[in-house]
Amino acid sequence: MEKLRNKDGLTEEEFLKKYNPGKYNRPSVTTDILILGMNEDYSGLKILLIKRGNHPFMGCWALPGGFVQEDETAYQAAARELEEETGLRGGYLDQIYTFTKPGRDPRMWVMSIAYLSLVQELEAVKGNDDADDAAWFDLKFDDSLISLRNEEKGIEIVYDLKKETFSNGAMQYENFIPSLKSKEALAFDHVEIIIEAMKKLREQILYNNQAFCLVKDTFTLPELQAVYEAVLSRPLYKKSFRDMISDRVEETGEEKKSCVKAGRRSKEYRLKKIK
Amino acid sequence: MEKLRNKDGLTEEEFLKKYNPGKYNRPSVTTDILILGMNEDYSGLKILLIKRGNHPFMGCWALPGGFVQEDETAYQAAARELEEETGLRGGYLDQIYTFTKPGRDPRMWVMSIAYLSLVQELEAVKGNDDADDAAWFDLKFDDSLISLRNEEKGIEIVYDLKKETFSNGAMQYENFIPSLKSKEALAFDHVEIIIEAMKKLREQILYNNQAFCLVKDTFTLPELQAVYEAVLSRPLYKKSFRDMISDRVEETGEEKKSCVKAGRRSKEYRLKKIK
DNA sequence: ATAATAGTGTCTATCAGACATTATCTG
DNA sequence: CAGATAATGTCTGATAGACACTATTAT
């Protein structure tokens, strides 16, 4: 089998040896990760933020992330970052969207591949090399507001959202335009990343098992419902909810779990094994 | 307001001036676009491919695409490429997924941001600088096979698909593993890009208006149903289908459209204006 | 008339929304 | 016991699947 030669008469080996990759300028590529977990008492979502220890946006809170290296996929880079921040590996981690707007990083040309991670428990966190600090923030996200609060540190980051629907041809899109309402702000375009990720999570959670990534291995149905309600930011009817998931869960057989205050104990469930 | 200084005592301006972006190696970033349209007689989907005129994968057919430049978003790069190939602008164009596996391009480190474009009519196409040729291919995609054929050129590219379901924690994923069955093959990892895009299109088309991007401004319901059936690769019940879209369309009032062979004429519809 | 295609009627099973009722727990 | 929470029962309206039937056209 003779070798293919291009217009310059080069075989593939010769071409690759001569190839000059410097023809186009190249961007840096990072991953930024939304790490979400449920509050200990299932009252809402928490998000892990780090405090930037250097310019730009020094002192601002930001999504954890890092550069993708040449010998790894973006997924591996995100998984590595996730493990560095939380010690967790192998949990839910999925690509959301790639952000490429010129100027989104004042240092240089940087694209960011955003990932979403869902964790079963809020691991202790600490800052690392590039971060002064790291902490879990209460996350609220609905059609008119996004807020990130850390009571302990007395930090609140709040954006009003304006829901804007526009159409392009047949398609209709919903966009949320954030406007800062608090003294503190998120670094870079990280508000937009959070908005995109939360939109996607809200769209998907009813049709897959993402909610089960936010509860422990055994859980009660009120807890599981709280997960859906926290993500969707609206109440669900108890009966409809239970009908919806009844064929995906099974009782542990174990005794019921006690609860904090008065009221009947709830049964413990686990995710039904796939058949 | 005094200026923030980092550990080295630098203000943001000083830091940015000194910042050295060469610390990490950087990838090239391209966009690859799936440009889909319906066959003239609504018998199936067509996809636009270009024939590579240079190494690597010289002579192979590939998705059109190009490098993202520093002063544009990836979306703009994809839109530019789309216009170069088809002359079309402003149509459906949406980001699908970013492919980052090391070694996916033998020349160098290249990431690709995949876009999906849906066009109302099959524009005439021609090769350009990096391509020897460009042509529309009949695209078939179901759970066991993906095939791209161009009758005129006598080219067929066929991959068997093995549907593989695996679970990671609570999540269940469906993957399609392609194995080449034809003499001709697609360049790079473009089969995987097509698979991802078609999976996503199939998931979404029932819940948004993507199908209307694949018909002309006025259309008949049998035509519109053919679009859904081509994308979903399964037949739909006529009545259920019409019930589903009845509140999204309106009759043009115009006379019915004639058809090729025997049979009753069908009414013309258009997408109902949003209220 | 016949074959082919377009369009409508209707039944069923399922399911989300909505609300009411019963069951079990603490204090 | 009261108040709180968990769990279940039942009705309604919307909808997808399934099939049957009517309507309109070319040959």
Question: Which of A6, A11, A26, A201 to probe by mutation at the B interface, max B CB count within 10 Å?
Answer: A26
- In a mutational test of the A interface, the residue from B5, B52, B89, B171 whose CB has the highest number of chain A CBs within 10 Å is B171
A9-23, A90-104, B197-211: range with lowest mean pLDDT: A9-23
Is the CB of B243 less than 7 A from some atom of nucleic acid strand D?
yes
CA distance B174 to chain A (A): 12
* Distance D24 C1' – B262 CA (angstroms): 10
Is a pLDDT exceeding 90 seen at residue B209?
yes
Q: What is the pLDDT of residues A38-49, one digit of tens each?
A: 999 999 999 999
Residues in chain A with CB shorter than 8 Å from the CB of B7 are 53-54
pLDDT beyond 90 at B51: yes
B262 touches strand C (CB under 7 A): yes
How confident is the model over A212-230, as a mean pLDDT?
A: 97
pTM of the model: 0.94
Mean pLDDT of B2-22: 76
Phi/psi of residue A206, nearest 5 degrees: -75, -15
Q: Which nucleotide is nearest to A235 (CA to C1')?
A: C17
Range from A27-36, B2-11, B166-175 carrying the lowest mean pLDDT: B2-11
Bridge-partner residues for A269, per DSSP?
A219, A251
* B-chain residue closest to A8, CA distance: B54
CB contact at 8 A, B82 and B31: no
Question: pLDDT tens, B116-134?
Answer: 999 999 988 876 666 779 9
Residues 193-232 of B with CB under 7 A from strand C: 220-222
User: Which of the four pLDDT bands, split at 50, 70 and 90, describes residue B48?
Assistant: very high
A114-169 residue pLDDT tens: 999 999 999 888 766 667 799 999 999 999 999 999 999 999 999 999 999 999 99
What is the predicted pLDDT for the residue at A131? 72
Q: Which residue has the tokens 């391009």?
A: B105
Q: Supply the angle between the helices A221-232 and A238-245 in degrees, to the nearest 10.
A: 100
Percent of chain B with pLDDT over 90: 81
Element (H, E) at A51: strand A45-52
Lowest mean pLDDT, pick from A1-10, A162-171, A219-228, B193-202: A1-10
A258 touches strand D (CB under 7 A): no
Distance between CA A225 and CA A47 in Å, rounded?
Answer: 19
The distance (Å) linking the CA of A262 with the C1' of C23 is 14
Could you say which DSSP state residue B46 is in? E
The mean pLDDT value of chain A amounts to 92
Whole-number pLDDT of residue B1:
58
Pairing of strands B110-119, B28-38: parallel
Q: Is 70 exceeded by the pLDDT of residue A260?
A: no
* b/e A146-162 (16+ beta carbons within 10 angstroms → b): bbbbbeeeebbbbbebe
Half-sphere exposure of B8 (CA within 13 A, CB side): 11
Q: Which tokens go with A48?
A: 């892990």
CB-based contacts of B202: which residues, under 8 Å, 6+ apart? B231, B232, B233
The model's confidence at residue B149, banded by pLDDT at 50, 70 and 90, is: very high
Can you say how many angstroms the Cα of residue B67 is from the centroid of all Cα atoms in its chain?
Answer: 17
